[in-house]
Amino acid sequence: MNICGYIPESINEGPGLRAVVFISGCTHRCPGCFSPHTWSFQAGKPFTAELQQQIIEEIADNPLLSGLTIAGGDPFFSAAEVSRFVSRVRAALPDFSIWIYSGYTWEEIIQHTSPEYMKLLQLCDVLIDGRFVQQQRDVSLLYRGSSNQRIIDIARSLISGQPITM
């Protein structure tokens, strides 16, 4: 798995000041995507155990951060590898807020045949779901690019059996 970006402090991908890791690889190829450079699975550099540890230590050492956001590309295309990274973050920072973006909808993720998709979902707190739809682009939305995308509370949604938006 590769990452095509890391932002140590951002206010754009969730509430508060957040670290953001951009996972390489996406086959959704949404027209109008603001980051087509992330589509290639070879984009960026390998997300080695050493780099992961370095990022986790940077996050832990920054008292201003309120969370971590995993974006891309689409992290669910590398669900097993991203799950291992998020598990490492959870071990180091058990109460840290973790948001994840995906072009898949909530329904597509929970019905996916790979158990790794569900494992990754369960490790995170909030899912921003759905492909970017250029005709529904809305720059006034918080943390999303188009009005079809939802901000979903994962824990509450798993309990209720349906997506609960925030």
What domain range includes position 151?
A: 2-160
- Report d(CA 149, CA 142) in Å as an integer: 11
Q: Please write the tens of the pLDDT for every residue from 102-134.
A: 999 999 999 988 999 999 999 999 999 999 999
Q: Which two tokens stand for residue 56?
A: 């986790």
Q: Any idea what the CATH number is for the domain that residue 111 is in?
A: 3.20.20.70
DSSP E strand boundaries for the chain = 2-10, 18-23, 45-46, 67-72, 97-101, 126-129, 150-153
Flag whether 6 is in a domain.
yes
In a domain, 166, yes or no: no
Residue 35 has pLDDT above 90, yes or no: no
**What's the number of domains the chain is made of?**
1
Categorize the per-residue pLDDT at 34 as very low, low, confident or very high, splitting at 50, 70 and 90: confident
Which pTM value belongs to this model? 0.95
**Would you say residue 165 lies in a domain?**
no
Residue 113's pLDDT is 84
